[in-house]
Amino acid sequence: MHREQSMQIIRAGRLLPARADGYTGAVCVTVGDDGRIAAVERIDPGTLEPSEARLLLMPALSDAHDHGRGLSPLAYGAADQPLESWVVALSAQPQVDPYLNALVAFARLAESGVCAVNHCHNTQDGTALLAEAEAVSRAARDVGIHVAFAWPFFDRNPLVYGPLSPLLERLPEPLRARYATPRAMRSCAENMALFAKAKAFEHDLFCLQYHPVAPQWTEEATLGAIARASARDGRHIHTHLFETERQREWADHAYPNGLVRFLDDIGLLSPRLTIAHAIWLRDDEIALLAERGVTVATNVSSNLRLRSGMPPLSRLIDSNIGICFGLDGMALDDDQDMLRELRLARLSFARDPRLLDAFVLNASWRTGRRTIVGEDGGGDIAVGAPADLFTIDFGTLASDTLLEVPQVFPLVLARARRQHVVDMFVRGREIVSNGRCRTVDLPAAERLLVQNARAAYRAMPVACDEIDALQRAIEDYYTCGCHFAV
């Protein structure tokens, strides 16, 4: 790749277009001082240097649903298991520097070709959410990728979906008193006040969204307040919906007329809303969500690891609803590989895969991006589009091809991994070079994060027996159908 004047010229042997039948030949892209594409020219491949000829250029990817986990849950013993018991194990997480945690997470995403992420923030310290948001804002600026900070509203059902007393009955006597009074949760009014203060942290790579964590975890009045606030200010809303069968069962009993219909009645369903997971949706609900312009962010790796089920991708695509993809901080191999996630999603569609190549990539290039940064013309390699681009080593992907003209789409979607990412640009700025994040020292940040986490873990009381007891009680709570009570 040839770079002049702060990397204003990008040359590659191949281009991956928005359509499977589009031009895939050698290309030269010129980036203007405004960070947008000034020119896209077809060029003679014979003019390229060997290192340039190996490259495939495409729009950078989006991660439409993530949690910014620089420290993996596996690091502190939160093994993969069904969601309802898995979240209990997250209490063993040691408190680490929120800036360092986000910095590592964002740099890893950048090295996977991701230029934009919807960061659903999990607070480490409920009293320090504002400080954590400021730290994430700094990390976004320092790494240099687009981050939408989904501000968490969590004020309902802190332990189980439904009445607390049946859970307490299943706990050992010493634990009942501790969990009889759940930890304090931020009220909607307090959260809205903090949200207003956090607007001071916004910059050209960082914006706030409303994040009612999920209907089972958010009071109805809070959901209504968020719907009204979004209608006034136009900000996006991001939530989890029907991730597990237990959530589906709870909703069917708590909302006999339909939870999705209730969300529509209070004004939450709109083109500003993105719902994550959406595994247990019914056809009438899918139709209503599509009619309202809602976007669905699917998370195949996470759904497999947490035993949640597989998203109804074929039914979703038949409805013409907007679909995008996220890693959820739970990539299949715990490595934040967005390219592999797209492959898994493609293989999950019960359709002719030849019809899906361009669709899957466009879902990441455009649909997912839109849920993070809005409509900005991104996700395309065209004059005027933001120069959010990345290259992969196509020479390696096609090293054994016998075809005179290699099949670009099938090779990328069947073989590409984060190890093949060469360069990644955000607004023309080179964030990744030769496969490594150049804006921050990721290996050093990773070492420091692990060092700090180990020190914090040694200093904290980790009650493994208590976690095990709570997990067993929760599993029995749902097995016995206690969440059916309303």
Q: Which domains does the chain have, with CATH numbers?
A: 9-59+382-437 (2.30.40.10), 61-373 (3.20.20.140)
What is the separation of C-alpha 147 from the centre of its chain, rounded to a whole number of angstroms? 10
pLDDT at 141: 98
CB contact at 8 A, 214 and 243: yes
Rounded to the nearest 5°, which phi and psi values hold at 318? -65, -25
pLDDT of residue 6: 55
Give residue 486's pLDDT. 63
> By C-alpha distance, which of 296, 358, 347 is closest to 326?
296
386 phi and psi, to 5 degrees?
Answer: -60, 140
- Res 7: pLDDT: 54
How far apart are the C-alpha atoms of 476 and 400, rounded to whole Å? 53
How far is residue 376's CA from residue 250's CA, in Å, rounded to a whole number?
39
Q: Is the pTM of this model over 0.85?
A: yes
Q: What is the pLDDT of residue 442?
A: 98
Question: DSSP string covering 394-418, please?
Answer: HHHHTTT--SSS--HHHHHHHH--G
For every residue of 47-95, DSSP letters joined together read: GS-HHHHTEEEEEPEEEEEE---SS-GGGGT--S--HHHHHHHGGGPPP
Residues of the chain where predicted confidence (pLDDT) is lower than 70: 1-7, 350, 352-355, 486
